[in-house]
Amino acid sequence: PPPIGMATTSAVAVSAASAFAGSALSNRRVVKPVRASRVVPRASASGSDEKDAPFDARAFRRELSKSPKYNRSFKKDEESADAMETAGIGMVSKGGLVAQMRVENFTHVKDDVTLKLADAYGFCWGVERAVQMAYEARKQYPHEQIHITNEIIHNPTVNKRLEDMGVKFIAETKDGKDFSGVKDGEVVILPAFGASVHEMKLLAEKGVSIVDTTCPWVSKVWNAVDSHKKKEFTSIIHGKWAHEETVATVSFAGVYLVVKDLAEAEYVCDYILNGGDKAAFMKKFDNAHSTGFDPETDLIGLGIANQTTMLKGETEMIGKLLEKTMMTKYGVLELNDHYKNAGDTICDATQERQDAMYKLVEEKPDLMLVIGGFNSSNTQHLQEISEDAGIVSYWVDTPDRVDTSNVIVWRTAHGELITTKDWLPAGDITIGVTSGASTPDKVVEDVIDLIFQTKAAMKAAVAA
C-alpha cells in the first residue's frame, strides 16, 4: 500500500539532517543548560538551527510541558475507545477469533488447519495509548485542523483510519518534512515514536496545540542519552539511524554513533582497541553520527542506549562487548570513567513478543504467519526470529496480501517482497501466528479468515 501523506507544498522544510545537527559536543565539550524560552530558534528555509547559542534539549522539553498548548494526558476516554473498536483498530478483540483463542490456550482447530497463537502478540499499551490519544484529540478539537508529524504507529490500517478522520500527515519531501501547511491555532500530534526536539521547537514557534503521544519507553531512552551527555560520554545507540524513533533520540543526545547490529559494534570496538582507517570508519557510519564526530577523540567514554524495538539479546551483547572493550583498553579500575550502562531500555512489550516468538518456534509449526506493518521494526525482528529458526515464515502487513487463489505477497526480514503461489499445502497443517506491537487484533482475524477461505476453495476445487 502506498504511504499516507498530504500534498507537498513549498516552504519551510525540516530535514532529517537537521535532526542530527546542533546536538553534537565537539571535543567532548560541556554544554551548559539554558532556559529553553531564550534559545528556541527560528527555522530558516533550509530548516537549520541558529548556532549562536547553546541548547539544552531536555530543558526545552521540560519548559514546553508547562505550556497550556502542550498535552500529554491520556484520558482513557471510553467513547474514544469504543470508536476505535468500531473502526476495527481496538487493542483487544472482544468477540472475534483472537479473543476465542486466548481462552482456548492460544490454539484453534478448524477442519485441517491448526492455529497456534503466540502468547504475547499484537497491540502494546504504548501503541493503544498513542492511538486513543489521537482519537481523544479529534473529540477535543472537533473543528480544528489536526496534523501528525509521522505515522502514529507503523500500521497502514490504523493510519488510514486517522486519515479518514481528517488528520493530515506532514509531507516528507526530498529535503525533509514540510511544515508549511501547519498554521497558528491548529493541532499537531507527535506520534508514539516521538519527534525530534527540532520539530518540537518549530511547532512551539508556530503557536499550535501539541498532543504528545510519545511512548514513555521512548522517553526513557532520551533520559539515558541525556545521562551520557552529562558525563561527556558518546552515546552508542543500537538502532537504525533513519528510523523515526532514533531520529528523535539522537536529537536529545550529545555526541552519538548509531550501530545497527553486533557486526557494526564489533567494527567500532576493533577500532577502539587497534585503530584503523579513519576515512573508512566515517564512510561506514555516514549519516549515523553526530555532527563533528571524530573516532579518534569521541570513543574514549561510551554509554549504551537503543531503539526500543531492537532485539534485546543483541542489545545486551553489544553492551557487554563495549564494556569488555573499555575494560581491556583502560583496565577494570578505570571502567566507570569510560563506560556507562544506563539500564535496560528495551520496551517490555517488545521483549514479551520476542520471548513468545522464541517459544512458538520451538513448537516447530509447519509455517509461521507474522502480521504487522512492513516498516515496523519490532515486527521485522519477529520475522527474523522465525527465519533464523529455519521455519517457513510469511510476513504480511494487511489482509490484501493474501488471495484466496492460494497466493500470498509477503516480505522477508531483510526487506525483499515476494509473491508465492500455492503457499498453503493441501491436507493438515499447523500454522504459528503472531503480530507486531502495532497490529490490531481485527487485522489478524481478517488474515486468518482468508486462510480458512483459501483452504475451503482448495477443497472445492478438488471436489469439482
Residue 186 designated active-site:
no
Residue 24 CA to residue 14 CA, distance in Å, equals: 18
Instruction: Give the per-residue SS3 of 98-155.
Output: HHHHHHCCCEEEECCEEEEECCCCCCCHHHHHHHHHHHHHHHHCCCCCEEECCCCCCC
Do 407 and 59 touch, CB atoms closer than 8 A? no
Q: How many Å separate Cα 32 from the centre of its chain?
A: 30
Nearest to 217 by CA among 265, 249, 260: 249
Please, which residues have CB within 8 angstroms of residue 352's CB and are 6 or more apart in sequence? 120
Do 118 and 434 touch, CB atoms closer than 8 A? yes
Catalytic residue among 245, 264, 387, 445: 245
Q: What single DSSP character describes residue 332? A: G
Residue 94 CA to residue 340 CA, distance in Å, equals: 45
Helix (H, G, I), strand (E, B), or coil: what is residue 306? strand
- Walk across the sheet containing 176-178 and list its strands: 13-14, 176-178, 171-173
User: Is the dihedral angle over the CA atoms 267, 272, 273, 274 positive or is it negative?
Assistant: positive
Residues with a catalytic annotation lie at 245
